[in-house]
Amino acid sequence: MTGAFTVAIDGPAAAGKGTIARAVAAHFGFAHLDTGLLYRAVGAKGGDPVAAARGLVPADLARDGLRTLDAGQAASRVAAIPEVRAALVAFQRDFARRPGGAVLDGRDIGTVICPEAEVKLFVTAGPEIRARRRWLEAGGEAGPESYEAVLAQVVERDARDRGRADAPLRAAADAVVLDTSGMDAETAAARAIALVAARLQR
């Protein structure tokens, strides 16, 4: 494939959008950008978040610790700052329209970053299920946080992401909603791959 083809995948924390995005990108040979990593990297840099966003370089996305619960909370806080979001828009849009196809996952890809995307998915699941996934990722019973604490963080982050004035988390009007509550990762990925394949065949 030589032309631009964008797959926009949005959804709340731990719904499975990253796993699905990686699977879609691998299946079709598309480039993949986890846009949440941009915000995690900005939050992890500390200092003035607007300056951090404007000075972000690819190496910042490879730093250790960006997948922790604390990094996720920091990302949600800096993502609520309009100047931070504005600084990262061009980076994301350029990536999305690169030749050969691209998959971007985040919270405002289909609504703000790539409203013209050829495929839009909104991946979701119940908060208790998403909290359990995050808790298990963090080590479960052996991890540093209780399930109840992780659930509280998930609910708090949902409220912040959905309630922010700039680019709130919501499904685009033309997005296909994929509820992964009762699906394993392979089933959810297969469903998404089928949706993209159908669009490519048109």
- Ranges of beta strands (E only) in the chain are 6-10, 31-34, 102-106, 119-124, 176-179
Interhelix angle 147-163/69-79, rounded to 10 degrees, is 20
Q: Name which of 180, 186, 196 is nearest 30 in CA terms.
A: 196
**Segment holding 88, helix H or strand E:** helix 82-96
> 111: annotated binding-site residue?
no
Does 14 carry a binding-site annotation?
yes
59 marked ligand binding residue: no
Closest listed residue to residue 164, CA positions, set 95, 84, 105: 84
With CA atoms as reference, report the closest residue to 175 among 110, 125, 96.
Answer: 110
11 is in an annotated binding site: yes
Amino acid at 118: E
Q: How many residues does the chain have?
A: 202
Is 45 annotated for ligand binding?
A: no
19 labelled as ligand-binding?
Answer: yes
Q: Is 79 annotated as a binding residue?
A: no
Amino acid sitting at position 69: L
Q: Which residues are annotated as a binding site?
A: 11-19
Q: Which residues are annotated as a binding site for ATP?
A: 11-19
